[in-house]
Amino acid sequence: MKKCLVLLLLGLSFACQAADYESTMLVQTGKLRESDLIVRTITDLDSNKICLAFYVSTTGTSPVISCYDARQGYRSKLRQVGHFKEGKLIVRKMKDTVNDVSCLVAYVSTPGTSPSIDCYQGQHVAKDEIVRQGHLREGDLELYRVVDPSSTKACLIAYVNTEGTAPSLHCYDSPAGGKGGGMTQSGFMREGDLVVRKILDQNNNKECLVTYVSTQGTSPNVYCYNQPAGRPAPMPKATGARQ
């Protein structure tokens, strides 16, 4: 009887140990902190991808993530190469110098904010920076144009000046290198709580629609497209715009 009981217990023990083996190929391979912004480097060994997860160390925040192919094995080296702060807006340029990938990160210094990012292929340059190249205020909407000369990119950053907001960031090619015309509002619509503003980036021949709702905690959305050829530029407004 005792032998049967021992054999039964051993059988149960082996049965418990026979569970499927599980392994994870998703690991954290780096971390960077710049003031209240935290960036964690996540490597997906199965897919040969490096992913950067950004979040702000404040209550009510949400993270954002961007992934790209690992060029040299699974190596990466992330550092901040440029930044500026104006009012509530904070913009940082992060660069993976091993894989030549740059990320522009924008967020506002209020509780409940979340970062907005745009990552793109960069290149090796002696001097890496970002340049604030325009500002436009229309009602409660703040718009900034930031130029990344080394990557020939211009980025439009929009946020609504209210609590709990998060900015929207959209980058596009800027062959002119950040020289030339400014930004103007060329159209406006309001229906109920919805606000739509049409912004013209004269320097890059881009038209951008910025939409948001007039409630606390709202965040805008930006959609840009090329300005149709032959369309004359609108006359600058006498008020509300500041370059």
pLDDT tens-digit profile of 25-60?
889 989 999 988 999 999 998 888 999 999 998 777
* pLDDT score of 231: 60
Q: Is the pLDDT of residue 238 over 50?
A: no
Structure confidence by residue, pLDDT tens digits, 205-214:
899 999 999 8
* pLDDT score of 121: 86
* pLDDT score of 149: 87
* pLDDT score of 5: 43
Structure confidence by residue, pLDDT tens digits, 84-137:
898 889 999 999 989 889 999 999 877 777 899 999 987 766 677 888 888 999
* pLDDT score of 9: 43
Q: Is the pLDDT of residue 242 over 50?
A: no
Question: Given the DSSP bridges, would you call strands 194-201 and 183-191 parallel, antiparallel or unpaired?
Answer: antiparallel
d(CA 141, CA 61): 21
Give the DSSP per-residue string, the chain: -HHHHHHHHHHHHHHHTTSPP----EEEEEEEEETTEEEEEEEETTTTEEEEEEEESSTT---EEEEEE-SSTT---EEEEEEEEETTEEEEEEEETTTTEEEEEEEESSTT---EEEEEE----SS---EEEEEEEETTEEEEEEEEGGGTEEEEEEEESSTT---EEEEEE-TT-S-S--EEEEEEEEETTEEEEEEEETTTTEEEEEEEESSTT---EEEEEEPPTTPPPPPPPSSSB--
* pLDDT score of 45: 87
| Measured CA angle at 80 (ends 90, 104), to 5 deg | 55
Residue 6 banded pLDDT, cuts 50, 70, 90? very low
Structure confidence by residue, pLDDT tens digits, 154-193:
999 999 887 777 899 999 988 755 555 688 999 999 999 9
Residue 8 banded pLDDT, cuts 50, 70, 90? very low
Q: Is the pLDDT of residue 243 over 50?
A: no
d(CA 34, CA 80): 8
Segment 130-152 shows an average pLDDT of 89
Residue 7 banded pLDDT, cuts 50, 70, 90? very low
Question: Is the entire prediction scored with pTM above 0.95?
Answer: no
Tokens coding 89: 């807006």
* pLDDT score of 122: 75
* pLDDT score of 181: 64
CB atoms within 10 A of CB 93: 23
Residue 61 banded pLDDT, cuts 50, 70, 90? confident
